[in-house]
Protein backbone atom coordinates (compact mmCIF):
# COMPACT_ATOMS: atom_id res chain seq x y z
CA UNK A 1 0.00 0.00 0.00
CA UNK A 2 1.29 3.44 -0.98
CA UNK A 3 1.77 5.48 2.15
CA UNK A 4 3.67 8.08 4.10
CA UNK A 5 4.49 6.94 7.61
CA UNK A 6 5.31 9.28 10.46
CA UNK A 7 6.54 8.37 13.91
CA UNK A 8 5.69 8.96 16.62
CA UNK A 9 2.02 9.88 16.33
CA UNK A 10 1.99 11.58 19.70
CA UNK A 11 4.86 13.00 21.72
CA UNK A 12 5.12 15.03 24.89
CA UNK A 13 8.58 16.33 25.66
CA UNK A 14 10.35 18.96 27.72
CA UNK A 15 11.94 22.17 26.57
CA UNK A 16 15.44 21.70 25.23
CA UNK A 17 15.40 17.93 24.79
CA UNK A 18 16.39 17.08 21.25
CA UNK A 19 13.89 15.01 19.29
CA UNK A 20 13.43 13.59 15.82
CA UNK A 21 10.17 12.92 14.02
CA UNK A 22 10.66 10.34 11.32
CA UNK A 23 8.96 10.29 7.92
CA UNK A 24 9.18 7.51 5.39
CA UNK A 25 7.47 6.99 2.04
CA UNK A 26 7.34 3.81 -0.06
CA UNK A 27 6.42 5.39 -3.42
CA UNK A 28 9.89 6.38 -4.68
CA UNK A 29 8.85 10.02 -4.55
CA UNK A 30 11.45 12.68 -5.24
CA UNK A 31 9.73 15.54 -3.41
CA UNK A 32 9.08 15.57 0.32
CA UNK A 33 8.10 18.31 2.73
CA UNK A 34 7.10 19.08 6.31
CA UNK A 35 4.17 21.21 7.44
CA UNK A 36 2.95 22.32 10.80
CA UNK A 37 -0.68 23.06 11.53
CA UNK A 38 -1.83 25.48 14.21
CA UNK A 39 -5.33 26.78 15.03
CA UNK A 40 -6.11 29.91 13.06
CA UNK A 41 -2.87 29.70 11.06
CA UNK A 42 -3.59 26.70 8.86
CA UNK A 43 -0.85 24.52 7.39
CA UNK A 44 2.53 26.14 6.92
CA UNK A 45 5.52 24.62 5.19
CA UNK A 46 8.63 24.15 7.34
CA UNK A 47 11.15 22.55 4.98
CA UNK A 48 11.08 20.76 1.69
CA UNK A 49 13.36 18.52 -0.34
CA UNK A 50 13.44 18.24 -4.12
CA UNK A 51 15.58 15.07 -4.01
CA UNK A 52 18.31 13.29 -2.08
CA UNK A 53 20.74 15.75 -0.47
CA UNK A 54 18.66 18.72 -1.71
CA UNK A 55 16.74 20.54 1.01
CA UNK A 56 15.49 24.10 1.45
CA UNK A 57 13.62 26.27 3.89
CA UNK A 58 9.89 26.78 3.75
CA UNK A 59 7.96 29.55 5.44
CA UNK A 60 8.66 28.68 9.08
CA UNK A 61 12.05 26.91 9.32
CA UNK A 62 13.34 28.48 12.55
CA UNK A 63 14.10 25.88 15.19
CA UNK A 64 13.99 22.94 12.81
CA UNK A 65 16.46 20.91 10.79
CA UNK A 66 15.97 18.23 8.17
CA UNK A 67 18.08 15.79 6.23
CA UNK A 68 17.55 13.73 3.10
CA UNK A 69 20.22 11.06 2.94
CA UNK A 70 17.93 8.52 1.34
CA UNK A 71 15.05 9.01 -1.04
CA UNK A 72 12.48 7.40 1.21
CA UNK A 73 13.27 9.17 4.49
CA UNK A 74 12.94 12.80 5.50
CA UNK A 75 13.31 13.24 9.26
CA UNK A 76 12.41 16.46 11.06
CA UNK A 77 14.82 17.37 13.85
CA UNK A 78 14.15 19.74 16.72
CA UNK A 79 17.55 20.39 18.31
CA UNK A 80 16.18 22.35 21.26
CA UNK A 81 12.39 22.26 21.30
CA UNK A 82 10.46 25.16 22.77
CA UNK A 83 6.79 25.47 23.76
CA UNK A 84 6.02 27.50 20.61
CA UNK A 85 6.81 24.36 18.61
CA UNK A 86 3.84 22.60 20.13
CA UNK A 87 1.84 21.76 17.04
CA UNK A 88 0.47 19.11 14.70
CA UNK A 89 3.09 18.12 12.14
CA UNK A 90 2.57 16.53 8.75
CA UNK A 91 5.03 15.03 6.35
CA UNK A 92 4.06 14.94 2.67
CA UNK A 93 5.52 13.50 -0.51
CA UNK A 94 4.85 13.56 -4.21
CA UNK A 95 6.49 11.99 -7.22
CA UNK A 96 7.97 15.28 -8.41
CA UNK A 97 7.49 18.91 -7.42
CA UNK A 98 5.39 19.45 -10.56
CA UNK A 99 3.00 16.62 -9.74
CA UNK A 100 -0.39 17.39 -8.36
CA UNK A 101 -1.16 14.67 -5.90
CA UNK A 102 0.57 15.02 -2.57
CA UNK A 103 0.39 12.17 -0.07
CA UNK A 104 0.33 13.15 3.58
CA UNK A 105 1.26 11.20 6.67
CA UNK A 106 -1.18 10.79 9.53
CA UNK A 107 0.42 13.49 11.59
CA UNK A 108 2.48 13.86 14.74
CA UNK A 109 0.98 15.78 17.61
CA UNK A 110 3.86 17.30 19.55
CA UNK A 111 3.56 18.99 22.92
CA UNK A 112 6.59 20.78 24.39
CA UNK A 113 6.27 21.67 28.07
Partner 1 sequence: DAKTTQPPSMDCAEGRAANLPCNHSTISGNEYVYWYRQIHSQGPQYIIHGLKNNETNEMASLIITEDRKSSTLILPHATLRDTAVYYCIVRVASGNTGKLIFGQGTTLQVKP
Binding site for partner 1 (CB under 8 A): 4, 31, 33, 37, 42-43, 45, 48, 50, 56, 58-59, 88, 90, 92, 94, 97-98, 100-107, 109
What is the total residue count of the chain?
113
CB of 82 to partner 1, least distance (A): 22
CA distance 64 to 33: 13
CB of 92 to partner 1, least distance (A): 8
CA distance 112 to 2: 31
Which residues, other chains included, contact 17 with Cβ-Cβ below 8 Å and sequence gap of 6+?
Answer: 81
CB closer to partner 1, 30 vs 78: 30
CB closer to partner 1, 5 vs 15: 5
CB of 14 to partner 1, least distance (A): 24
CA distance 94 to 101: 6
Amino acid sequence: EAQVTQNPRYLITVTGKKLTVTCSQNMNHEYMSWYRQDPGLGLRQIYYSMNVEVTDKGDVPEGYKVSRKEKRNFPLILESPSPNQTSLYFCASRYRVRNTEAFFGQGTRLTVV
